[in-house]
Structure 1
């Protein structure tokens, strides 16, 4: 039983890593804004809305970086996919918050 080794010079894309980091930041800040609003008996302060706005901006930038990193050749794409998924989740969360606010869920 011989072992087979494959040596490669592929690396993770820095844009993909940054996309994943932005996705984590966006999700955490969105979660904290919702949690603090819940603790405040549903009264959303302006600073929580600003946090959600920045989460949206981070998520949009993260999606762009994730797509750009996916287009690079000879790279590993784990963080690219992870960043795209996390940022899409953040945007979906913001969309749900807006939907719930408009229709009173």
Structure 2
């Protein structure tokens, strides 16, 4: 009867917690992607002639994405934590870092 009740309500008694590093990496990855979208839209709006501030925002956002990658990989190794945020942050942070690196590589090859 106790197992039936547990399955019915979905209770799960565990000592696991959400990974704080995983959540931080997820937030940083989302922030980096948002800044990427802002920089691309603003640069397109100005015809490719972005300001120095726009470029520094891009470089800073790329560094934030790399920090998010490091935090995400560290959060995957944590014991006794749920793995939802570490996996999501790993995917998003690698995506953000990859997009930023690709933009800079393409920029260096064109110029």
TM-score, normalization by structure 2:
0.84
1:99 counterpart SS class: helix
The aligned residue for residue 50 of structure 1 is 56
The aligned residue for residue 60 of structure 1 is 66
Gaps of 5+ in 1: none
Does 2:27 correspond to 1:21?
yes
1:95 counterpart SS class: helix
Q: CA deviation at 1:6?
A: 3.0
The ranges of structure 1 where at least 4 consecutive aligned residues each deviate by more than 4 angstroms after the TM superposition are: none
Q: CA deviation at 1:50?
A: 0.7
The aligned residue for residue 35 of structure 1 is 41
How large is the RMSD of aligned CA atoms in angstroms?
Answer: 1.7
TM-score, normalization by structure 1:
0.88
Does 2:98 correspond to 1:92?
yes
